[in-house]
Structures are given as structure tokens and as C-alpha cells.
Amino acid sequence: MQMIALGGTIGVGLFMGATATIKWTGPSVLLAYTIAGLFLYLIMRALGEMLYVDPATGSFAKFATEYMHPLFGYLTAWSNIFQFVVVGMSEMIAIGEYFQFWWPHLPGWLPGLVAITTLVLANLISVRMFGEMEFWFALVKVVTIILMIVAGLGVIIFGFGNGGHPVGISNLWTHGGFFTHGISGFCFALSIVVGSYQGVELLGITAGEAENPQPTIVKAVKDTVGRILIFYVGAIFVIVAIYPWNQLSAIGSPFVQTFAKIGITAAASIVNFVVVTAALSGANSGIYSASRMLFTLAEDKKLPRMFTKLNRHGVPFYPVVLVGAGILLGVILNALLPLFAPGADSIFVLVYSSSVLPGMVPWVVILISEMRFRKVHADKMAQHPFKMPFAPYSNYLTLAFLAFVLVFMFLNPETRVSLLVGVIYLAIMTGVYWHRHHQK
């Protein structure tokens, strides 16, 4: 469960998004990742409190239905599905570009087609196969980040790869200050930083299939959030300490440069391999998460009963196939769009970023549901060993933080369109819900 949560969270948001966030706000991006990580911890504690009592598959959609309104359960499930399918599409497009690093003349759609076919087959075989694949995918990413942090500290403290001259940490303030673009740049960066943490709520999806849910949930929530904070903040700290923030846009991947700094000449290929596994990991987690949400919707009679059918391995067959087909659209776009739209590179950015607002919906309903959950289960709260700290004030504070991030997403021209895409999607799904279910 911990590796699944790590695999769903540590991905392109860190490997590919670090340069962009540093460019927007400079070294203060460290503070942005720390603040967002602390609010993430509160969200996961709220989820953990509810899961301890009711470790149900599709948990946060189920909690939204029970403790808020069926509409919010419906929106949560479909937001989760949309988020992971869209991110999966983006990752299949990206995989094609990653493989062209090694084979420039390879058709961009071919690696994506092989990847999505392999992932769908693996998810159909068994839950255990999904878990094993995600474990190894996540392990590659985690080991790479740990090596980079250790190597970077060697450069900073002992001057490894720098002629024995320690780099120190003066780059954090000597090139325009800590907040290089002021408070507005810092607030703009928060939206990308928050988006990079999305996926950790996968713990809630996997809880119902854990062998011993209660102790596993407690350990997984505590350990996973702490490790994510260490990996994100640690990796970003190494990058902004070694390099002046205003040079990062000119040197390519900061991860490549950190390895190259200590003399690993194959750094580019190493990091490219890691980024491929990150994309596979994200798509793998997405197939699992979105298919379980489809299964939950079918159980609630909001989709045809065929979506509740399990294959002989105990896996919901039609949901996995349908999600795989949705992600396959990314491969098709990768093959066809360059033929009709030569400037189709912007499609990748638009597709990927449009998942940010729907990806926040599970967090919002977790925080609101937990407050109602406490009232309904007041008899169990006195002896509950894993309660949300400082509730309900911590719930209100976290909701205010998420609203603050959305306001600055709208104010920032670079993220306004992606926010509007999410708003339109949620509005459409709300209309569909009331049309199909309100009269009933």
C-alpha cells in the first residue's frame, strides 16, 4: 500500500515539474512543497480516521455519498476516473517522446501502445500482479531520488565533483533572494506543487483489499506522507542549493545535472529510464484507481451491472478494459494529431493540467465528510486511536488553503484554461447526475 501511494504521487510532478515551479518562485519553492505537504498530511489523517472504522473499497466516494450527498459521491468517483484517465493519456504521449531520446526515428505512438497493452493485461491478471508491478516501478523512482539527495549533499557539503570545494547553500538567497518573484510567483507555483501531490489518496482505494486493514492503514498514512515530504523537499533542496535557480531553465533536467555533477556520464540515460518508469507507474496506478471507481459506481446502480462482473482472477474486467481504452486515446492522439495539427505539442500540456481541479475533488470531500463522520460515529471517537488532529479547525484551514490555490490558478494566465476545463467537466457531470437520478 505504501509503494502504491508513493508510485501514484511521485511522478511527473517532481521529475518534470521541478524546473517550472522553481522558475516561477525560485528557492522559495522549498517552502511551497513543505506547506502543501503539511496540508496533504491533514487530508490523509482525515481519510485515515474514517478508513480505520470503515475500510471500504472506493472509500472517499462512498464516504461522500454517506456523509454529504449522493451527488458528491458521484462527482468524486467521476473526478477520480477523469483525473487518472487524463493523466494516463498524457503519460502515454510522454512515453513516446521519452523513447525517442534513445531511438529518434521510432514512431511516437508505438511505445505507448505497447505500454498500455502490457499494463491492462497485468491489471487483468490479478490485484497481486498490479501490486508487484507498482512496487518495482515505485522502487526505481525512490532509489533514484535517494541517490540524488545523497549525491547532492556530497556536492554541497564536501564538494564532490566540484574540485573538493563545497558548494554550500548560498544559492538559496544570492540570486534575487528567496522569493525571487514575490508573493504572487509563490502563490502561482502552489497550484503546480499541489497538483504534484495528487494520487496519494490511492491509499483509500487499496484499503478495502488489504489483508489487515486497520494497522496497515495507520502505518501507511504515517509513513507515506513523511516519505513523500522527504523525497520532494529533499530533492528540490539539493537542486536549488547546487544550481542558481535562474540557470535551471537553460541546463535541461535538474536531475540529469545533479548526477552529471558527480561524474556519472550516463546521467541522461539513467534519468530518462526513471522518467519512463514514472510514466508507467502513474498509468498503472490510474488504471487500478479508475477501474475500482467504475466498479463502485456499478455496485451503486449508477452504471450497468456488467461493470460489477469479476473475471476468474477476481478483477473487475470491464472497468479495467474501459479505462485502458480511455488511456489508449492518448496513443491515438499521439499518432494522429501531428498529421493534422503541427503545433500539437501544446495538447500534452492542456491534457495533463486539466486534471488538477478534478484531482482536488476527493480531497475536499474527504475533509467535509470527516466532520460529518465524527457526528455519526460519536460513540467510536472516544476510543479511536487515529483521529484527525485539531478537527474541525484543521479541516476548515485545509479547505481554505485549497480554495486559495484555486483562486491563484484562475489569476495566473498559464493555469486559467486548465482550471476552466475542470470546472466545465464538473458542471457537465453535475447536470448528468441530476438528469438521471434526481427524479428517481
- The domain limits of the chain are 2-438
Give the whole-angstrom CA distance, residue 276 versus residue 299: 35
**Residue 301 backbone class (left: φ over 0; alpha: ψ -120 to 50; beta: rest):** left
Question: Per-residue pLDDT tens for 313-332?
Answer: 888 999 999 999 999 988 88
Q: Of 3.90.1150.10, 3.90.79.10, 3.30.360.10, 1.20.1740.10, which CATH number belongs to 2-438? A: 1.20.1740.10
Q: CA 254, 255, 257: angle at the middle one, nearest 5?
A: 65
Identity of the highest mean pLDDT range in 128-137, 234-243, 252-261, 329-338: 234-243
**Would you state the pLDDT for residue 8?**
62
Average pLDDT, the chain: 83
CB 245 within 8 A of CB 180: yes
Of residues 58 and 372, more confidence is placed in 372
- Which one-letter DSSP state was computed for residue 310? B
Angstrom distances, CA of residue 293 to CA of 125, 251, 308: 18, 41, 11
At 316 the three-state DSSP class reads strand
Per-residue DSSP letter, 160: T
| Average pLDDT, integer, range 54-77 | 82
Which region holds residue 182: left if phi is over 0, alpha if psi is between -120 and 50, else beta? Answer: left
Predicted confidence band of residue 352 (pLDDT cuts 50, 70, 90)? confident
Taking the C-alpha atoms of residue 284 and residue 305, their distance in angstroms, rounded to an integer, is 25
CA separation for the pair 346, 388 (Å, rounded): 41
Average pLDDT over every residue of 332-336? 80
Residue 225 CB neighbour total at 10 angstroms: 24
Q: Tell me the C-alpha distance between 403 and 92, whole Å.
A: 31
Q: What is the DSSP string of 34-82?
A: HHHHHHHHHHHHHHHHHHHH---TTHHHHHHHHHT-HHHHHHHHHHHHH
How do residues 379-437 score in pLDDT, each as one tens digit?
888 888 889 999 999 999 999 999 999 999 999 888 888 899 899 999 999 999 998 87
pLDDT value for 211: 74
Give the mean model confidence (pLDDT) for residues 141-153: 84
Per-residue b/e over 290-328, b at no fewer than 16 CB within 10 Å?
bbbbbbbbbbbebbeeebbeeeeeebbbbbbebbbebbb
- Say how far apart CA 135 and CA 110 lie, in whole Å: 25
Q: Contact at 8 Å (CB) between 203 and 210? A: no
Q: Which three cell numbers stand for residue 323?
A: 479505462
* pLDDT for 209: 63
- Give the span between the Cα atoms of 269 and 4, in whole angstroms: 25
